[in-house]
């Protein structure tokens, strides 16, 4: 019979892996891939693949290493996405804020979207 500490460690590991897989799936879904269906399918495939690896590979440490390597791959890819301001924005956030700085302080003005 396994000790209580082993169960706590395993539960914590699974919780961290769930967070990592969730973040990776969201990073893929909200990436700059041009096709919405491809983003949805790839993020779903990442989640299902991670679950399959965790179910098939024993011990849990080895499965965790495989899932974490997938996470690191997505993380590197996420940071290589170039920033862009030419995407489709919602109307209320489409216009950037404007600030004026002078000797009396800073004043912020939010232009209304056109």
List per-block mean pLDDT (blocks of 10 residues) for the chain, which spans 114 residues: 87 96 96 92 98 94 96 96 78 75 74 57
Q: How far from each other are the two terminal CA atoms of the chain, in whole angstroms?
A: 67
Residue 65 has what pLDDT?
96
Report the distance separating Cα 41 and Cα 100, nearest Å.
45
Place of tokens 């939010």: 110
What is the pTM assigned to this prediction?
A: 0.75
Residue 1 has what pLDDT?
64
Residue 49 has what pLDDT?
98
Residue 99 has what pLDDT?
75
Q: How far is CA 36 from CA 28, 39, 108, in A?
A: 11, 5, 36
Residue 89 has what pLDDT?
75
Helix (H, G, I), strand (E, B) or coil at 113: coil
Report the distance separating Cα 103 and Cα 114, nearest Å.
31
Long-range contacts of 76-83 (CB under 8 A, 24+ apart): 77/31, 78/27, 78/31, 81/31, 81/32, 82/32
């Amino acid at each position: 019979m396994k000790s209580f500490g082993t169960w706590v460690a395993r539960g914590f590991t699974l919780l961290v892996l769930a967070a990592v897989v969730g973040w990776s799936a969201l990073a893929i879904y909200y990436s700059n891939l041009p096709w919405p269906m491809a983003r949805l399918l790839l993020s779903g495939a990442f989640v299902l693949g991670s679950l399959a690896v965790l179910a098939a590979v024993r011990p849990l440490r080895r499965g965790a290493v495989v899932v974490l390597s997938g996470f690191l791959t997505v993380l590197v890819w996420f940071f290589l996405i170039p920033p862009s301001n030419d995407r489709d924005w919602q109307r209320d956030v489409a216009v950037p804020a404007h600030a004026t700085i002078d000797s009396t302080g800073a004043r912020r003005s939010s232009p209304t979207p056109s």
